[in-house]
Amino acid sequence: MKTKIDLNVHTHHRAGTEERPGSCGIVIFGASGDLAHRKLYPALFDLYYAGHLPENFFVIGFARSVWDDQAFRKQVLETLKEIGKPDPAKQKKFVSHLYYRVADLDDTASFHHLADALKELHQKYKTQGNVMYHLAIPPEACGNVVAQLNRAHLINPPKKGGPWTRIIFEKPFGHDLESARALNHDIHQYLKEEQIYRIDHYLGKETVQNILMFRFANSIFEPIWNRRYIDNIQIMAHETLGVEQRAAYYDHAGVIKDMFQNHILQLLTLCTMEPPIKFNAEQYRDEKTKIFHALRPIPRGKVNDYVVRGQYGPGKLEGKKAIGYRQEKGVAPRSQTDTFVAMKLFIDNWRWQGVPFYLRSGKRMNAHGTEILIQFKQIPHSMFSSVPPDTFASNILCFRIQPDEGISLRIESKQPGPEFSLASLNFNFEYKNVFHTHLMGPYERLLLDCMHGDQTLFIREDQVELSWAFIDKILEGWQKSHAPKFPNYAAGSWGPEAANKLIEQDGRKWRSYVANYSAPTDEHGKKL
Number of residues written out for the chain? 528
Which of 263, 381, 436, 524 is catalytic? The answer is 263
CA distance 436 to 514: 22
As a three-state string, the secondary structure of 165-199 is: EEEEECCCCCCCHHHHHHHHHHHHCCCCHHHEEEC
Amino acid symbol at 191: L
201 among known catalytic residues: no
Helix (H, G, I), strand (E, B) or coil at 377: coil
How many whole angstroms separate alpha carbon 384 and alpha carbon 210?
37
For residue 167, give every residue at least 6 positions away whose Cβ sits within 8 Å of its Cβ, in sequence order, or none. 132, 133, 134, 135, 146, 187, 191, 195, 196, 197
Provide the pairing of β-strand 489-490 with 196-198.
unpaired
Residue 151 CA to its chain's centroid (Å) = 33
Q: What 3 state SS string does 347-375 have?
A: ECCCCCCCCCEEEEEECCECCCEEEEEEE
Task: Please report, for the chain, how many H helices and E strands are present, in that order.
Answer: 16, 18
- 478 three-class SS: helix
Contact of 150 with 190, CB cutoff 8 Å: yes
Give the chain's radius of gyration (CA, Å): 24
Work out the burial of residue 301: count CB atoms within 10 Å of its CB; fewer than 13 is exposed, 13-18 middle, 19 or more buried.
exposed
The C-alpha atoms of residue 290 and residue 268 are separated, in whole angstroms, by: 12
At residue 327, φ and ψ (nearest 5 deg) are -95, -5
User: Whole-angstrom Cα distance, residue 165 to residue 450?
Assistant: 10
Strands 315-317 and 320-322: antiparallel
Residues labelled catalytic: 263
